[in-house]
């Protein structure tokens, strides 16, 4: 069987934001409140949202999965902001050249 063709790079949808812009959007929206809550309690909220995502995945409910993915991402950037981590920078530093172990796209590591 032929290997699937690589997808062309996705064009940015109108109104789309980068990961860094999304982190900034969430920071501008909630940062004062999130700072008062502190890193540990924000992390607890994040894990709660991951649990809700697990439930949506179990149900195979695409709309619910989409809603929970948004919540998980928002809480992920929140705890990152409080910890002083730039999510886009961190993600690209680790995965920007493909698999961090074999440096290939797609990953060529043994299964
Ligand atoms: Zn690999």
Output the pTM of the full model: 0.84
Is 1's pLDDT higher than 50?
A: no
Instruction: Report H helices in 5-111.
Output: 19-37, 39-59, 62-83, 87-95
How remote is the CA of residue 49 from the centroid of ligand 1, in Å? 29
Q: Which CATH architecture has domain 19-93?
A: Orthogonal Bundle (1.10)
In the predicted model, is pLDDT for residue 6 greater than 70? no
User: Which DSSP symbol is given to 55?
Assistant: H
Of 17, 111, 36, 34, which Cα lies nearest the Cα of 80?
34
Domain locations in the chain?
A: 19-93
Mean per-residue pLDDT over the chain, rounded: 92
pLDDT digits (tens, 9 = 90+) for 46-69: 999 999 999 999 999 999 999 999
State in Å: Cα 3 to ligand 1 middle: 18
Which residues have their alpha-adjacent CB atom under 5 A from ion ligand 1? 99, 101-102, 107, 109
């Amino acid at each position: 069987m032929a290997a699937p063709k690589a997808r062309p790079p996705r064009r940015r949808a109108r109104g789309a934001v980068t990961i860094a812009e999304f982190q900034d959007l969430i920071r501008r929206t909630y940062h004062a409140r999130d700072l008062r809550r502190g890193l540990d309690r924000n992390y607890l909220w994040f894990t709660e949202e991951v649990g809700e995502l697990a439930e949506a995945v179990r149900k195979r409910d695409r709309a619910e999965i989409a809603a929970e993915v948004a919540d998980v991402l928002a809480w992920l950037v929140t705890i990152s902001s409080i910890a002083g981590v730039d999510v886009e920078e961190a993600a690209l530093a680790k995965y920007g050249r493909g698999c961090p172990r074999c440096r290939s796209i797609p990953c060529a590591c043994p299964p």
